[in-house]
Copies of this chain bind each other. A is one copy, B any other.
């Protein structure tokens, strides 16, 4: 009987989902578990909102406020730069270019996602940072701005990929009606495709934001890694850079080690809240 097959199918889907939820929970629980010892020594508020990070000093101080700000600052900057470029490119790819050129350009853009971050970091260091130093007379080019620009390139393919596919679908569905009204392609893009792709643009941004917040190596190489309050043209240190930089040296099971996990946990929560806000906004925009 076919219904039997269907039951099996349902079970498989449920199992697969269960799998991914298990993984998700496992990772979250692991991070939380490794974070807890910190909060026996430092209050959550102190950890979040004080300024100094000196886990090896005497007295120890572990607070990551500057890194929290830096993480948010750099990632949002990256999104702000990448979003218009990404959406613009997705529009161009999906609605303007011929299928032929598209078929070459799209895989080319997708490889941007596959270039290792070290290489991005190196390019950032040799080109971007250098550029600021030479042209803007910065004493050193390592800065939030450099990090934001570099990250924006790295997240570009995520935004483009997510938007482009749904724009093609929308355009397929309504193009004929729009063209029947004698309206130009650009008008259709502006007044039909863009508003109808809102959800995809949001989904892409969220994915890209996650990528931006989690990215380590490349940012680490161009942002200067100074645990100070971030300024656009000044150095800063992101949470993920902090973790990557110090995890290698932190003694396992020391307070330092747990503090780094706690920083990871905070990063996770920030991302979660930003995503929730995004979801809330998109829900209310699209009435």
Query: B-contacting residues of A (Cβ < 8 Å)?
Result: 6, 9-10, 12-17, 19-21, 23-24, 27-28, 30-31, 84-89, 91-93, 96, 103, 105-120, 122-123, 127, 153, 156-158, 160-162, 165-166, 169, 184, 186-187, 189-190, 199-200, 203, 206-207, 209-211, 213-217, 239-240, 243-244, 247, 261, 264, 267-268, 271-272, 275-276, 278-279, 283
Residue of B117, B190, B203 touching A214 (CB-CB under 8 A): B117
With A20-B156, A153-B27, A247-B122 known to touch, is A92 a contact of B13 (CB < 8 Å)?
Answer: yes
Least CB separation from A189: chain B residue? B13
Which residues of B lie under 8 Å from residue A112 when comparing CB positions?
A: 24, 27, 210
Cα distance A271–B108 when bound, in Å? 9
B108 near A24 with CB under 8 A, answer yes
Cα distance A114–B75 when bound, in Å? 11
Which residues of B lie under 8 Å from residue A92 when comparing CB positions?
A: 13-14, 16-17
A227 to chain B, nearest CB (A): 16
A2 to chain B, nearest CB (A): 9
Can you sample 28 A-B contacts with CB below 8 Å? A10-B186, A15-B88, A16-B84, A16-B87, A17-B88, A20-B85, A20-B109, A24-B108, A27-B123, A30-B123, A107-B276, A108-B272, A111-B271, A112-B210, A114-B213, A114-B214, A114-B268, A115-B268, A117-B214, A117-B216, A118-B216, A118-B243, A118-B244, A119-B264, A122-B247, A157-B210, A162-B162, A165-B203
Least CB separation from A269: chain B residue? B111
Cα distance A243–B12 when bound, in Å? 39
Which residues of B lie under 8 Å from residue A30 when comparing CB positions?
A: 123, 127
